Amino acid sequence: MKESVLVDEFAENASWIEISQSAFSKNVSIYRNNLETHILLGAVLKGNAYGHGFLQTLEILHGYVDILFVINPIDAFKIRKYEKENELVQKRVVVLGSISPDEAVACAKKVVEVAITDENWSNYISHLKRSEKEKGNSYRPLKAHIHIDTGLSREGFVLEGLEQKISFLKENESLIHVQGVMSHFANTEDVTEQSYAFEQLSKLDKAHEIVSQFLGLSYHLEKHIAQSASTLIIAKSHYDIARVGISMYGLWSSNETKLSAKVVKSELPSLKPALTWKCKSQSVRKIPSGTYIGYGCSCRAERDLRVALLPVGYFDGYPRLLSNKGHVLVNGVRCKVLGRVMMNHIIVDVTEATSEETNEVVATLIGRDGSESVSAENIAEWAQTINYEVVTRIGSHLKRMVVD
């Protein structure tokens, strides 16, 4: 029996993820409405599509956006396979992360665009030349975006000496087609005053001018840097393409971004979270007052309780820092996590959410139940982290299903 069949058959005994297609549709509309019609909307699918499930998210977003951005060639090739199997027209796909020389050849073959981040790329030329020689007239140049370091100091070319560093591109125009220049903001999400962002935009403008003139390009050279935050709050950053990541999934990149968007837009865009995390109980039992609960005896029942054992823990991505302070939802009621989060289990107080006869519950770990909700931001606050980490750490082994 195939592993996937086993996963589907027994998934009901574990926790699972529900992905809302209507939420994605709404979030795409919000971003479309913030862009002029000639600007392309791209979705970022890195980190297992921000924990939402790569293939499930691809199935939804493929028809909604203009470009798909991934972190590695493996995911890019998954997209090409998905398109072929479903007889779909190919979308533009851009790999943002590093690739090997052999992967560069494969990307050229599969019409996958890449980011060139440093002059070490000159070492890839021999591989591309070999491919060009083998394919002859059928060879298609590798489409590439020159990554400029405008202030993040993570990757990319700095402005100083840029012409010399990209000279290998000028000498190999038949092998690599320069599609655009790109960069990444450093702190648009962390502040409401955006002077540093505008410094970065100025550097990208200069780099765009240098590249276009140095390479003597007769065609339009794309320029892109906009992401979730800047697409909403810095119109100048839109350029040719918006690369929307976490907010495509209905999550705000920060409270500062939320505040800035409310000021800029006068009305806060109503992003809708696409992910709900649920779990069916393994058991429901009574615990008398005075009983210790969980490892380390860190919790002691102060009264008679009814507790549910949920088969989900830090192995699945539920943070251990939620020990004795996290909450889940059962029947629309907030239920506290009692004791330590374990590798594969948590124990929650369902006394107020259930009756004496209850022997099974379904808990919502992230999402809404009735008038109550637990958001990725709530969990991030309890776990002293950010919502990005909360959703991307949800185990890829958990079943994900598209709903509505």
Residue 46 catalytic? Answer: yes
- Candidates 26, 46, 170, 206; catalytic one: 46
Annotated binding site for substrate: 154, 343
Distance from the Cα of residue 199 to its chain's centroid = 26
Distances from the Cα of 344 to the Cαs of 92, 311, 315, in angstroms?
A: 40, 6, 6
> What DSSP string describes 347-399?
EEE-TTTS-TT----EEEEEEEETTEEE-HHHHHHHTTS-HHHHHHTS-TTSE
Q: 288 is written with which tokens?
A: 């008398």
With beta carbons less than 8 A apart as the criterion, state whether 145 and 115 touch.
yes
Residue 295 catalytic? Answer: yes
Would you state the torsion angle of the CA atoms of residues 210, 213, 216, 218, taken in this order, to the nearest 10 degrees?
Answer: 110
Give strand ranges (E) for 256-298.
275-280, 283-287, 292-293
Distances from the Cα of 243 to the Cαs of 39, 332, 400, in angstroms?
A: 11, 36, 24
- Candidates 84, 135, 295, 325; catalytic one: 295
Which helix (H) or strand (E) is 73 found in, with range? helix 73-85
Distance from the Cα of residue 80 to its chain's centroid = 19
Q: Is the dihedral of CA 309, 313, 317, 319 positive or negative?
A: positive
Contacts by 127-131 with C-beta closer than 8 Å and gap 24+? 127/101, 127/102, 128/104, 128/172, 128/175, 128/176, 129/172, 129/175, 130/105, 131/105
Annotated binding site: 154, 343
With beta carbons less than 8 A apart as the criterion, state whether 275 and 315 touch.
no
CA-based end-to-end distance of the chain: 30
Would you give the DSSP letter of residue 188? T
Q: 376 is written with which tokens?
A: 């990725």
What are φ and ψ of residue 286, in 5° steps?
A: -95, 140
Which helix (H) or strand (E) is 103 found in, with range? helix 101-109
Q: 90 is written with which tokens?
A: 């190919």
Residues marked as catalytic: 46, 295
